Amino acid sequence: MFIDEVKIRVKAGDGGNGCLAFRREKFVPKGGPSGGDGGRGGDVTLVANQHYNTLLHFRYNPEHRAERGRHGEGSQRTGKEGASVELPVPVGTVVYDLETGALIHDFTQHGERFVVAKGGRGGRGNMNFAKPWHQAPTEHEPGFPGEERSFRLELKLLADVGLVGYPNAGKSTLIARISAARPKIADYPFTTLEPNLGVVSADDGQTFVVADIPGLIEGAHEGAGLGIRFLRHVERTRLLIHLVDVSEHTGRKPVDDFKVVMKELEGFSEELISKPMIVVATKLDVAQDSKRVDSLRRMAKRRQLPFYSISAVTGQGIPELIRAMAAIVKKPAEAEL
């Protein structure tokens, strides 16, 4: 099961209490205060892990607590620190404060760590309050509470290329053709219910990651179909591949399909439509009317967008498309601005 958004609550460990004690050994003539400090509470830390690709492990276990610190003891012994808790999250996870909505942290690298709740400091024992004029103090502090916070975790997959288009436009077939990904493929809409990732190898040995997300229909930004909740997974991409079915069985004009999807992308984020984009006419193996392909090609030319026509089933046009994708992906990010 693919889960890309969860709410969690974390509680760091409280600090241990300081100790009230006095030395009373037989051969220590003056004795004195000997209460030790309480131990520090454990932290709660999120750690990015490349071996995780979903937030499912938080779905049924949303609350996490670190251990509290042990209390101080006599003979000036400090209490043991509480054990910290480390929670693995997928690379690409974004952490938001649940109450304010503020962005807390964005995990982009494997092994990246971020403390989301700090443990409380241990209280001071009475040995800390001894003064020349106050030699038998009874003051001691309770431990300080650890932080308790609620967060919303949102996963945005890290991919170089994002595939967008109408349902059944051939996105899953394409990613299965050019990579080792094996998404569900069937002749009905919304066969893709969750994003799929595939690694593509170009002719020069370069590799890049392609993300296939569920298809968009008119009104998706208002919740129609599967809505636009999966579009966050192409927000980080360098390149969008806009697939348009040019076969006759859709009953729609290819140009109209393109405009509908562009409108939904804009409704989600204007940054998406400003990304580099390649328009791809798909299903040439079953397209009978060349005018449908030509109309889409002219529209892409007017918008100054690269255009390719392919058949993911027969392989027609696939090598040229991969080379075009690789050429854009390997450009320095500054060159695209």
Considering the domain 5-155 in this protein, what is its CATH number?
A: 2.70.210.12
**Residue 79 to residue 221: CA distance in whole angstroms:** 55
Asked whether the domain spanning 161-336 has the same topology as the one spanning 5-155, the reply is no
**Residue 156 to residue 230: CA distance in whole angstroms:** 9
Contact (Cβ atoms closer than 8 angstroms) between residue 181 and residue 46 = no
**CA-wise closest residue to 90 among 3, 164, 32:** 3
How does pLDDT run along the chain (337 residues), one tens digit per residue?
Answer: 456 789 999 999 999 999 999 887 776 666 788 899 999 999 999 999 988 878 888 988 999 999 999 999 988 899 999 999 999 998 889 999 998 989 999 998 999 999 999 999 999 999 999 888 888 888 999 999 999 999 999 888 777 888 888 887 888 888 888 887 665 444 444 444 567 778 888 887 778 888 887 767 665 545 554 556 667 777 788 899 999 988 887 778 889 888 888 888 888 777 888 889 999 998 888 777 788 889 999 999 999 999 999 888 888 888 998 889 988 888 765 444 3
Query: Which CATH fold would you assign to the domain 161-336?
Result: Rossmann fold (3.40.50)
- End-to-end alpha-carbon separation of the chain, Å? 37
**Residue 276 to residue 183: CA distance in whole angstroms:** 25
Domain residue extents for the chain: 5-155, 161-336
Contact (Cβ atoms closer than 8 angstroms) between residue 133 and residue 181 = no
